[in-house]
Amino acid sequence: MALSKEKKKENNRKEAYKKWYAANKEQFNEDRRKRYKKDKSYRERALENTRTYRRCGTDKPLEEKMYRKFNDKKVEVFRISKASELVGRSIQTLRQWEAAGVIPYSVFDEGHRLYTKKQIALMKRVVTLYNKYRHNTKRFPVELEKMKVLVQNKWEEG
């Protein structure tokens, strides 16, 4: 299949730029670095472009609200990173709780861990229990089992 005239022109322009850039790369980058240091608006645009690039080219804010259908209701959900921040524990701790059965495995779509506000509140109760009984070696396992049952029962209410 033959390329159209416009495509050929575009490809020629790209090739010409690549050759020019290869020949002038050092000087071009040096000029860009100098401008970055001196020109505040240029620096701000460059930083914003970097942020956009790191967000996979989207202009979406990094902390946008997400909603999923849960028990026939649309509820706000949070990624594991935000949930761990709200609970006050690390992401690894939440994963360990799932593995130990303290909290149920919570996956919505495409394998991402997402939690509702009510589920985060339940995790905060687990933290409170842990802080209260962690030094009482006789009582802690009993209270932990009670909390597991409570969390399992209330988890699906979301």
Share of the chain above pLDDT 70, in %: 87
Where do the domains of the chain lie?
A: 14-54, 66-155
Share of the chain above pLDDT 90, in %: 13
Range 66-155 has CATH code 1.10.1660.10:
yes
Predicted confidence at residue 62, as pLDDT, reads: 52
Hey, how many other C-beta atoms are within 10 angstroms of the C-beta on 103? Answer: 22
Burial of 53 (0-12, 13-18, 19+ CB in 10 A): exposed
- Residue type at 33 in one-letter notation: R
CA neighbor of 103 nearest in space, from 127, 82, 86, 81: 127
Close Cβ partners of 103 (under 8 Å, ≥ 6 residues apart)? 94, 97, 119, 122, 123, 126, 151, 155
- The per-residue pLDDT for range 121-154, each reduced to its tens digit, is 999 988 888 888 888 878 888 888 888 888 888 8
Predicted confidence at residue 57, as pLDDT, reads: 47
